[in-house]
Amino acid sequence: MLKIGITGQAGFVGSHLYNTLDLFRDEFERIDFQKEYFEDKNKLNDFVSQCDVIVHLAAMNRHNNPQIIYDTNLGLIQKLVKSLDETKSKAHIIFSSSTQEEKENLYGKSKRDGRELLIKWSKNSLGKFTGMIIPNVFGPFGHPNYNSVIATFCYKLSHNETPKIDVDGDLKLIYVGELVDAILNEIRSKKGNPEILVRHTFESKVSEILKLLEVYKEEYQNKGTIPLISNTFELNLFNTFRCYMDIKNHFPVKFVKHIDDRGAFVEIIRLGVGGQVSFSTTVPNITRGNHYHTRKIERFAVIKGKALIQLRRIGTEEVLDFYLDGNEPSYVDMPIWYTHNIKNIGDEVLYTNFWINEPFDPNNPDTYFENV
């Protein structure tokens, strides 16, 4: 079993990689890293000595003073190299560099010079080194005004602000889940490669991406409609947008209930995509679910009885509680990377409609069990 450590474990890419490694517990063991280790030689050496693979993601992306970016990023690598030498490590070091290497800015120079330091270390040691040149990365839980323009757009739109385009350039993009897959491939290869150009999976004008996100804001956040999704990029972009919404205060959303002398009619979901619709009954005090998805879009709609729906983002402790009552039919949507469940908290049978955007495939279920 390979022991994997991630510097920058709590960051945008680092947290996605850390959580994904947990899905392969029979193959990998995660060695915990805290950013304070870089300030404590003994703790850093202890971390390095435990690892078969170290994915170096820790870096500063933005600062008002570019020289501080350069000094910080190179300083982190110098500390890592010193620790590798002192512990006589034979680890496989995987370094996250950037296409900014080609540009004349101090961030790009910090990545280029840092990669050269690690290449030199690998030549003078028994360790292996892989340098990954990575395009623009987007996905859930990135920091607005820091990680990517998509994170900024998603945050502003979902919080009723108006994004502005400074330069309508072409963006070469990779989804964070696709990048994690590329890193896992390098880990599994057990080979070094000083320069791997990670290919982008989508290219678009900034303005075209903003148009799509504005559609998601209007159709999904404002109206509750699942929009038309034409390809994998749009699915990833939509799932990214959903994770920036204030879900704690957005859900549950009440349906419009139409009543006449025949009874009641409620429209559960309006779709631009297909998927699978299910219906369930749940007896009192029974809980369903306690699992999460990494790509699926899912809606729980309570139409009779009383339910508690709970959500918790993987890697965090806060549990979100949503109380739903069939007397006022309502729904909660499940963001990706949130484990979720539904419990009948009433005295009668609970009636629930479930919709998910793809039929269940036992060979590729995208369903991972973890208690809320």
Show the 3-state SS of the chain: CEEEEEECCCCHHHHHHHHHHHHHCCCEEEECCCHHHHHCHHHHHHHHHHCCEEEECCCCCCCCCHHHHHHHHHHHHHHHHHHHHHCCCCCEEEEEEEHHHHCCCHHHHHHHHHHHHHHHHHHCCCCEEEEEEECEEECCCCCCCCCCHHHHHHHHHHCCCCCCCCCCCEEEEEEHHHHHHHHHHHHHHCCCEEEEECCCCEEEEHHHHHHHHHHHHHHHHHCCCECCCCCHHHHHHHHHHHCCCCHHHHCCEECCEEEECCEEEECCCCECCCCEEEEEEECCCCEEEEEECCCCCEEEEEEECEEEEEEEECCCCCCEEEEEECCECEEEEECCCEEEEEEECCCCCEEEEEEECCCCCCCCCCCEECCC
Name the stretches of the chain with pLDDT < 70.
none
Phi-psi region of 92 (alpha: psi -120 to 50; beta: other; left: phi over 0): beta
Residue 231, number of CB atoms within 10 A of its CB: 9
pLDDT value of residue 259: 85
pLDDT value of residue 104: 79
Residue for token digits 């360790």? 127
pLDDT value of residue 321: 98
pLDDT value of residue 123: 93
Specify whether the CB–CB gap between 307 and 352 falls below 8 A.
yes
Specify whether the CB–CB gap between 156 and 162 falls below 8 A.
yes
Domain locations in the chain as residue ranges = 2-139+172-203, 247-369
Please state which architecture CATH assigns to domain 2-139+172-203. 3-Layer(aba) Sandwich (3.40)
| Whole-number Å distance between alpha carbons of 241 and 237 | 6
Residue 206 tokens read as 């900034």
pTM, to two decimals: 0.93
Name 181's Cβ contacts closer than 8 Å, sequence gap at least 6: none
Burial string for 9-28 (b: 16+ CB within 10 Å, else e) reads bebbbbbbbbbbbeeeeeeb
> Is the fold of 2-139+172-203 the same as that of 247-369?
no
Phi-psi region of 139 (alpha: psi -120 to 50; beta: other; left: phi over 0): left
pLDDT value of residue 222: 97
CA distances from 233 to 216, 236, 260, 371 (A): 14, 5, 43, 30
R_g of the chain, CA atoms, integer Å: 23
CATH number belonging to domain 247-369 = 2.60.120.10
pLDDT value of residue 15: 98
Specify whether the CB–CB gap between 159 and 248 falls below 8 A.
no
Residue 131 tokens read as 């340098």
pLDDT value of residue 334: 98
pLDDT value of residue 265: 76
CA distances from 110 to 74, 82, 88, 103 (A): 6, 17, 25, 11
